[in-house]
Amino acid sequence: MAQRPVAAHQAAVGVTMAAISAVDLAIWDILGKSVNKPVFKLLGGRTKERIPCYYSKLYRTDLKAMQEEAQKFLDQGFKAFKMRFGYGPAHLQEGVRENLRSVEAVREVIGYDCDLMLECYMGWNLEYARRMLPKLEKFEPRWLEEPVIADDIDGYAELSRLSSIPISGGEHEFSLYGFKQLLDKKAVSVVQYDTNRVGGITAAHKINALCEAFSVPVIPHAGQMHNYHLTMSTLASPMAEYFPIFDVEVGNELFWYIFDGEPVAENGFLQLRDDVPGLGLTLKTEYLDQFRIVE
């Protein structure tokens, strides 16, 4: 089956859906504040006492530095970690060995009583992923994330059939219908939509229900408060992704610098308060002089 052209597909819907998502998030925040309830209560209420979260960093650097980082957050009580691969098909067999060394190095620190997730960020192709999967099975990863380009749905489905390692994805999917296609084809074992891209909380709530019907877990892409409200309110979400405070980078840690109210993980768990309405965020002003807004 022909796949959707990636550039054309993302250009057609990506920017538009991001804009719709932003408006939708604002509306849910306003709704919560208007009735003095947190958003998760508007979505159905609390489904878990607190939210388990996984430490999502561990970019491929020096292996000793990765191990020290993993140990630091293991000591803080985290029981789940996600690491990134640094090598792909262009690095040939040497890159394969380096990828395996990095997984082994992290497992040496966290052991096998903790979950380990592996992130490819679409940096592999189907042939390379086929070769890597059998080599990774001994490390017992909870999932392998975005091994191939997002629009290669048949490739995801093939990899899901090929190995016992669950394949995850969805952060570059933009519609409810796209997720139904992923689920119908059994292409992913874990869905990771991005609330900022699918149409906001309204659309994400529908995707949660769809995934629950297919018995496929949902773990939204990135941390951020709107994802925590969605995770708290659905049985389909067993945990949340979590980025702790770091020196700001474009993307994952930016929200710490522009919002007050983000929950800080304690012993690998997050908590949402019942007495804070809306999304529970206010704008932070102390770092405004460190950013430049470009129109």
Active site residues: 221
Is residue 272 within 8 Å of residue 280, measured between CB atoms?
A: yes
SS3 for the chain is CCCCCHHHHHHHHHHHHHHHHHHHHHHHHHHHHHHCCEHHHHCCCCCCCCEEEEEECCCCCCHHHHHHHHHHHHHCCCCEEEEECCCCHHHHHHHHHHHHHHHHHHHHHHCCCCEEEEECCCCCCHHHHHHHHHHHHHHCCCEEECCCCCCCHHHHHHHHHHCCCCEEECCCCCCHHHHHHHHHCCCCCEECCCHHHHCHHHHHHHHHHHHHHCCCCECCCCCCHHHHHHHHCCCCCCCEEECCCCCCCCCCCHHHHHEECCCCCECCEECCCCCCCECCCEECCCCHHHCCCCC
